[in-house]
């Protein structure tokens, strides 16, 4: 690194001319320290895993804080080592996390039941009832579905609820004392009004009427966070918060925070996909496509969520609970095999070798079929999942097709949802940007997604930084936006103006092959259903 660049970064760190973004993903918590030129100058990480306890996917509060502290400590240590500077202040901080879920607290701030994450598909009756009541799709993952299901289940804790919030809103609350949430994840708790940039008042009243006979001491709005849009200030780091985030005591309180946002919103920001007719696909443990709409959809689709950008514009979201987990497990098996043969292969090389091999496979995967359903899958109507691989005796079973089918099926449920948007609702998109682990091997995941969507797909050079960089950008936007400067203008004219990426056009054979695979995928769901019923 040139000495002038190094000195500039050192001074930025010393003077707090940086922004910090931390995102709590499904398997990794990532921290990104960004300078004023939108460059990630240091990163930190902490790996974690959800727990399956009493039929609920969860993380404990200790898991959360060990992870937040661990990711920040890793970043702080790297800054110490690379720049010789100890972080004491930061221009602004933002937190992001997995959207949706259910964290309910009483008046003393105690968690009433274990955190129920987005991954749970245990709220079917509530989801159906609220969708019918509101005439608006309420997916099982949404906080309001969890709340109403708890009411239907007659869970005693419901009457004690004082605050209902999502994961990043919880972390933000503990660190700042502010009960707020970015509008993007507010729309993952309860429907929002894109005109008022707030929770939908009609539906709030409908819900209160629905549960009125229960005699709860709260009204719904009383227990929800305050909705904030991108650019608004959302509090400051308290003294206790500073000690919690950085137990070493080096970090000073008073640092401003931007509104906490869900990973869908930060993914849109990180891929410059907040303007109408843009889309992005985040593909990792789960996969979702966010399409910014020009107008409302013609009808309610249970497979499609309606959320909003961090600025409050309407977005159609096709979300699949399962993407790369089963694929990662197969890659790990091949790694074990290599090790047993005395061959040490690092993970990036292993992934590259197997992913590139997939491109040698038949466009339709040679008749192989796989489902990577680690958990349930709402788009295809499964409350539980069973990872499954099946083939006919005459299928073309080789390594290339085996890897290709696992890449295809990672997007299978997502494509089921996208086909509703593109084929039934005639939604149009001008650009699609991909980000997340699926795209780390250059050109492979990108080509597969282009085939699935039959649309050109771009991957930016910053895609690997993901949502942690996205929330750092939202923190910077809060600090430096000009009066009336819209988020999409800030991103296009400042952040992404000189950034390069790669664009892949859909290959005709790939598109036809993916469509053929999808016909088998759809028909084979009966096999997956039987596996769920039999393998108890």
Q: Are 95 and 22 in contact (CB under 8 A)?
A: yes
Which positions ≥6 away from 78 have C-beta within 8 Å? Answer: 42, 43, 44
Three-class secondary structure of residue 449 per DSSP: helix
Q: For 250-272, write each residue's pLDDT tens digit.
A: 999 999 999 999 998 998 898 89
pLDDT, average across residues 221-242: 98
Q: For 42-87, write each residue's pLDDT tens digit.
A: 999 999 999 999 999 999 999 999 999 999 999 999 999 999 999 9
Greater pLDDT, 289 or 431? 289
- The band of 465, judged by pLDDT with boundaries at 50, 70 and 90, is low
pLDDT, average across residues 275-283: 90
For residue 464, what pLDDT is reported?
A: 55
For residue 436, what pLDDT is reported?
A: 82
pLDDT, average across residues 411-421: 95
pLDDT higher than threshold 90 for residue 500 = no
Percent of the chain with pLDDT over 70: 99
Q: Are 370 and 409 in contact (CB under 8 A)?
A: yes
Three-class secondary structure of residue 278 per DSSP: strand
- The band of 463, judged by pLDDT with boundaries at 50, 70 and 90, is low
pLDDT, average across residues 126-155: 96
Average pLDDT, the chain: 95
- The band of 178, judged by pLDDT with boundaries at 50, 70 and 90, is very high
Q: Are 100 and 168 in contact (CB under 8 A)?
A: no
- The band of 121, judged by pLDDT with boundaries at 50, 70 and 90, is confident
For residue 430, what pLDDT is reported?
A: 84
Segment 477-481 long-range contacts (CB within 8 Å, at least 24 positions apart):
477/230, 477/231, 477/258, 478/92, 478/230, 478/231, 478/232, 478/233, 478/234, 478/256, 478/258, 479/19, 479/91, 479/92, 479/256, 480/36, 481/231
Q: For 338-358, write each residue's pLDDT tens digit.
A: 999 999 999 999 999 999 999
- Which residue in 509, 328, 346 sits closest to 403, CA to CA? 328
Assign 3-state DSSP to the chain and report helix, strand, coil percentages, each to 5: 45, 20, 40
For residue 485, what pLDDT is reported?
A: 96
How many other C-beta atoms can be found within 10 angstroms of the C-beta atom of residue 7? 12
Q: CA-to-CA distance for 346 and 142, rounded, in angstroms?
A: 38
pLDDT higher than threshold 80 for residue 462 = no
Rg (CA), the chain: 23
Q: Is the dihedral of CA 71, 19, 461, 261 positive or negative?
A: positive
pLDDT, average across residues 362-382: 95
Q: For 292-321, write each residue's pLDDT tens digit.
A: 999 889 999 988 989 999 999 999 989 899
């Amino acid at each position: 690194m040139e000495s002038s660049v190094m000195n500039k970064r050192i001074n930025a760190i010393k003077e707090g001319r940086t922004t910090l973004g931390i995102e709590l993903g499904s398997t990794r918590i990532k921290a990104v320290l960004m300078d004023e030129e939108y460059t990630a100058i240091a990163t930190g990480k902490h790996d974690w895993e959800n727990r399956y306890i009493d039929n609920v996917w969860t993380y404990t509060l200790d898991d959360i804080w060990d992870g937040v502290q661990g990711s920040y400590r890793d970043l702080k240590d790297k800054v110490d080592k690379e720049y010789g500077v100890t972080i004491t202040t930061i221009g602004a901080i933002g937190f992001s996390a997995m959207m949706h879920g259910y964290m309910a607290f009483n008046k003393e701030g105690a968690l009433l039941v274990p955190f129920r994450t987005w991954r749970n598909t245990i709220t079917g009756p509530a989801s159906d009832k609220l969708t019918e009541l509101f005439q608006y799709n309420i997916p099982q993952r949404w906080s309001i579905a969890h709340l109403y299901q708890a009411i239907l289940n007659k869970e005693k804790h419901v009457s004690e609820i004082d605050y209902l919030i999502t994961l990043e809103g919880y972390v933000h609350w503990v660190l700042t004392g502010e009960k707020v949430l970015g509008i993007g994840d507010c729309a993952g708790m309860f429907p929002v009004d894109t005109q008022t940039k707030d929770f939908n008042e009609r539906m709030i009243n409908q819900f209160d009427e629905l549960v009125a006979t229960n005699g709860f001491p709260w009204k719904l709005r009383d227990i929800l966070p305050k909705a904030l849009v991108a650019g608004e200030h959302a509090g400051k780091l308290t003294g206790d918060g500073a000690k919690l985030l950085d137990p070493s005591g080096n970090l000073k309180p008073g640092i401003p925070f931007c509104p906490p946002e869900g990973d869908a919103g930060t993914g849109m920001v990180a891929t410059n996909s907040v303007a109408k007719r843009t889309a992005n696909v985040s593909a990792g443990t789960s996969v979702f496509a966010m399409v910014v709409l020009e107008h409302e959809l013609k009808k309610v689709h249970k497979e499609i969520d309606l959320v909003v950008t961090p600025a409050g514009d309407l977005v159609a979201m096709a979300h699949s609970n399962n993407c790369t987990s089963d694929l990662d497990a197969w890659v790990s098996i091949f790694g074990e095999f290599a090790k047993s043969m005395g061959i040490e292969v690092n993970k990036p090389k292993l992934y590259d070798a197997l992913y590139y091999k997939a491109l040698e496979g038949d466009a339709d995967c040679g008749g192989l079929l796989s489902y990577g359903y680690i958990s349930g899958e709402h788009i295809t109507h499964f409350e539980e999942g069973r990872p499954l691989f099946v083939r006919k005796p005459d299928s073309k079973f080789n390594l290339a097709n085996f890897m290709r089918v696992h890449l295809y099926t990672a997007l299978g449920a997502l494509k089921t949802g996208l086909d509703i948007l593109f084929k039934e609702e005639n939604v149009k998109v001008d650009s699609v940007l991909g980000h997340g682990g699926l795209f780390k091997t250059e050109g492979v995941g990108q080509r597969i997604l282009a085939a699935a969507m039959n649309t050109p797909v771009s991957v930016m050079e910053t895609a690997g930084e993901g949502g942690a960089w996205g929330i750092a950008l939202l923190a910077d936007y809060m600090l430096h936006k000009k009066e009336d400067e819209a988020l999409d203008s800030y991103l296009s004219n400042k952040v992404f103006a000189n950034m390069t990426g790669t664009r892949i056009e859909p290959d005709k054979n790939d598109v036809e092959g993916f469509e053929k695979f999808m016909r088998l995928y759809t028909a084979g769901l009966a096999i997956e259903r039987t596996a769920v019923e039999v393998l108890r």
